Structure 1
Amino acid sequence: MAEVKLVVIVSAFVVLVSALPSFATFLGPTQRKVSPLLLEEQVIWLAGGGQGGVSSYRIPLLSRTPRGHLVAVCEARKYNAGDAGEKFLAIRRSEDKGMTWQPLGYVLDDGTYFDGIGLGSILVDEETATMFIFYSHCPHFEKCTFSTTYVVNSTDDGKTWGQPVNITGMIGMHGREFETGPGFGIQKKHAPYQGRLVTCGHSHPKHGRMVSCAYSDDHGRTWAAGQALLSIPFTGKHEVGDFVPGETELVELPDGSIVINARNQYHYHCRCRIVFRSFDGGETFPLQHLYFDETLVDSAVAAGLYYHDGVMFFSNPANDKSREDMTLRWSYDNGTTWAGSYQVWPNAAAYSTLMMLHTDTEDSKYIYLLYEKGQKNAYSTISLAKISIYGEL
């Protein structure tokens, strides 16, 4: 079984990460200027027992299917809003570009197991038309002692799903919690390792906090783990100011490198995002390419990241102290600088994810934002916003 490879972070770390990255040398094609406009918004899941008898819906995932449709996935928390507790893995599909959504369905049910399903990420292999959902079991070590990582797949555009496969041994975790995302994984479109499936995640402090990526070069039949970026301190109790990278989202740049944007759990250096980069398909993260993006103010939350046609998009509650003010930002130089921002929702908001459809030129004018939203409680709904990228109706 593969063992997780660890990278040691030395005392020179603060010096190494101070400078901005040299992403600007890998610009995409010249683009029209982004000028976002919210076109429409609808509630996909409503908390409070009115939809499927479920107490709370959290951790939104959104993906484009192999046939060009949309699928949304989340944790349906049966009895309370807590991170632990019994859950369904809920799903809804849209075959008309998000205009209407099929009724609520469930991929998995963890029964009465207290600390069961923990999302997770969704990934599409476009070469085999297969969709994957990653989740962990016993992610919080509440009333359980051994964590496992699973993947479940669909070969019919997300209509039905197979049996879960335990990949814990393949990625060398052996009881250590590894929770991908939340968000989506990628299939690399460029060398090196073109066609590789990659999803990244983080671990629980019980066995040491770290971030690493899982990858497959055989279309998801087997999985391996890349090098781990460790927290400081690695084990023990963490305090405000410690270096603890958390929930991740990733995109591939045109030069084949991968950018990972991570939650800065204990606000090391700033109340902002941690950004790092891999040049070998998620296997290693050179420290000289790790930095803190102070423009991306953040209270410690899962954020959205998307790259298309020379533009990088980022979504999060743009507030350094509280979960409110859902904002979309965009960059023309791969995140080196951010050209502008657009407020989608001024009130309570939390986790978010971004997605686009690429079935035709018209689809490339829109970006979809699935996010946790409410007036005072960010977990009142999971809502979908369709945004015109260039301000066209």
Structure 2
Amino acid sequence: MAEEEVRMFVVFLCFGFLATISSSPILISNVKPVSPVVVEEQLLWLSGGGEGEVDIYRTPLLVSTPQGSLLALCGARKYSSGDAGPKFLAIRRSTDKGQTWSPTDFVADDRSPDGINAGSIFVDETTSTIFVMYIQCAHHYKCNVSTLFLINSTDDGLTWSHPRNISEQIGTMTFDPGPGYGVQKKLDPYKGRLIVCGHGDLLHGGVYCLLSDDHGNRWRYGGTRKAIPYDQKKKAGDFAPDENQPLELPDGSILLNARNEYTYHCHCRVIMRSFDGAESFPLDYLRFDEKLIEPRAMASQWYSNGVLFFSNPAHKTKRINLTLRWSYDNGTTWASSLTIWPQASGYSAMTMLSEDSGHLYILYEKGVKSSVESLSLAKVALYGGL
């Protein structure tokens, strides 16, 4: 093991002993307490329904648009529930706060034996452009080179551009976006920057972020936190942060919440923070949140009006018990929680309409025997009542 890896490994061992020790929470004054309750729920996609070639709908993406619409996307797996194999990107659109939805459309078709992975959706508020970044050939089962694509819509998600090859700018190392949403910084430093974070393959694991300072035209790598050991086969207990979700806090920092793929230290989430616009994620601000137990799955986080929200299947080993938690001190402590669905549940994505700060939307994998049976949209009233 190289000297730098040894030094980092010692640091991570220290984190293993000290992860539960944190500084006093920084309380945000004048925050209105929330009392979330699910007021509406509807199935957006049902797997096994024989809709065209699609067998399974998985990996939810959800975003609100500058025009006030909701866009829901997912990976429509054509012939099996496995990660590998051909897929579509499926989309539905709502212009009435989630009451009704357009029929399913397909905005991308990989036409490949080792298909696309639904990645990250994000909005450039300056140009009112909606982007989706996704990877093709993420698993290298029947192809050798990964390609990163970007599509965009300038008409509120009605039509989409042809895929643009971003690998021509960043190279062909496996970068699997999200899954979830990317962010555009609203505050300094680097106000207006687009940030999309993701992960590498299982051999070259870890967290990686792509940055664009020209509204999505050019992209480059920013902050990384590589797996240990790197470029080696992993085993249980290795450090390998994986699928992740960034957001911007009121001080302009980027808070990143990541899947703990090989359960280093705990069956819980890895938390990182950047103060330079995702250029770096210092070890000083890496910790493990033992309250956020996980069975290794995609999770989501959202921030609004002084409250940080987090959703995931809250169980150490099983994808069950989809739970919403909330914090008034940026995740230092968690005030309380709400069970969204106690049975089989997996990946989730959250968003909020800009003109309605009283409701949170959660699109999640839901089932009885298996979490891949459907994708369901829950509308949560944050201050109780209908």
Q: Give me the TM-score of the superposition, normalised by structure 1.
A: 0.94
Contact 2:9 2:228 in 1 (8 A): no
Query: Of residues 352, 356, 364 in structure 1, which corresponds to 2:357?
Result: 364
Residue type of the partner of 2:189?
A: P
Residues of 2 paired with 1:22 and 1:167: CA distance? 41
Contact 1:28 1:309 in 2 (8 A): no
Show CA shifts across 1:353-384 (max 9, x none). Answer: 1111112xxx1111000000001110000000
Residues of 2 paired with 1:219 and 1:28: CA distance? 32
Moved more, 113-122 or 56-65: 113-122
Contact 2:254 2:273 in 1 (8 A): yes
Q: Cα distance 1:85–1:340, how it changes in 2: closer, same or farther (>3 A)?
A: same
Residues of 2 paired with 1:185 and 1:150: CA distance? 15
Query: Of residues 185, 203, 227 in structure 1, which corresponds to 2:200?
Result: 203
Show CA shifts across 1:40-60 (max 9, x none). Answer: 110001100333441000100
Show CA shifts across 1:303-349 (max 9, x none). Answer: 01001110000000100010000000000000000000000101000
Residues of 2 paired with 1:45 and 1:68: CA distance? 22
Contact 1:120 1:136 in 2 (8 A): yes
Residue type of the partner of 1:195?
A: G
Q: Cα distance 1:45–1:23, how it changes in 2: closer, same or farther (>3 A)?
A: farther
Query: Of residues 315, 320, 323 in structure 1, which corresponds to 2:319?
Result: 323
Contact 1:28 1:254 in 2 (8 A): no
Q: Cα distance 1:187–1:291, how it changes in 2: closer, same or farther (>3 A)?
A: same
Alignment of 1:120 with 2:113, yes or no, is: no
Match of 1:159 in 2: 158
Give me the CA root mean square deviation: 1.6
Give the match's secondary structure for 1:261.
strand
Contact 1:78 1:87 in 2 (8 A): yes
Match of 2:265 in 1: 269
Q: Percent same amino acid among aligned pairs?
A: 52
Residues of 2 paired with 1:218 and 1:21: CA distance? 37
Match of 1:298 in 2: 294
Contact 1:48 1:56 in 2 (8 A): yes
What's the offset of the Cα at 1:273?
0.2
Residues of 2 paired with 1:340 and 1:7: CA distance? 39
Match of 1:178 in 2: 175
Contact 2:210 2:222 in 1 (8 A): yes
Residue type of the partner of 2:183?
A: I
What's the offset of the Cα at 1:30?
2.1
What's the offset of the Cα at 1:227?
3.0
Residues of 1 paired with 2:7 and 2:29: CA distance? 37
5+ long unaligned stretches in structure 2:
none
Once the two structures are superposed, the pairs formed by residues 1-393 of structure 1 within 5 Å of their partners are: 9-16=8-15, 18-19=18-19, 24-25=25-26, 28=28, 30-111=30-111, 113-171=112-170, 174-206=171-203, 208-359=204-355, 363-393=356-386
Residue type of the partner of 1:147?
A: S
Contact 2:60 2:72 in 1 (8 A): yes
Match of 1:3 in 2: none
Residue type of the partner of 2:139?
A: H
Residues of 2 paired with 1:303 and 1:30: CA distance? 28
Residue type of the partner of 1:141?
A: H
Show CA shifts across 1:57-106 (max 9, x none). Answer: 01000000120110001011111111111111100000000000000001
Contact 1:147 1:176 in 2 (8 A): yes
Residue type of the partner of 2:286?
A: L
Residues of 2 paired with 1:186 and 1:332: CA distance? 21
Give the match's secondary structure for 1:9.
helix
What's the offset of the Cα at 1:10?
4.3
What's the offset of the Cα at 1:280?
0.8
Give the match's secondary structure for 2:138.
coil
Residues of 2 paired with 1:230 and 1:220: CA distance? 25
Give the match's secondary structure for 1:67.
coil
Residue type of the partner of 2:150?
A: V
Residues of 1 paired with 2:30 and 2:328: CA distance? 9
Residue type of the partner of 1:79?
A: Y
Q: Cα distance 1:186–1:21, how it changes in 2: closer, same or farther (>3 A)?
A: farther
Contact 1:21 1:291 in 2 (8 A): no
Residues of 1 paired with 2:234 and 2:189: CA distance? 36
User: What count of residue pairs does the alignment treat as equivalent?
Assistant: 380
Contact 1:261 1:276 in 2 (8 A): yes
Runs ≥4 in structure 1, deviation > 4 angstroms?
Answer: 19-23
Residue type of the partner of 1:348?
A: A
Residues of 2 paired with 1:243 and 1:7: CA distance? 13
Give the match's secondary structure for 1:123.
strand
Residues of 2 paired with 1:7 and 1:391: CA distance? 50
What's the offset of the Cα at 1:31?
1.9
5+ long unaligned stretches in structure 1:
1-5
Residue type of the partner of 1:187?
A: Q
Give the match's secondary structure for 2:14.
helix
Residue type of the partner of 1:197?
A: L
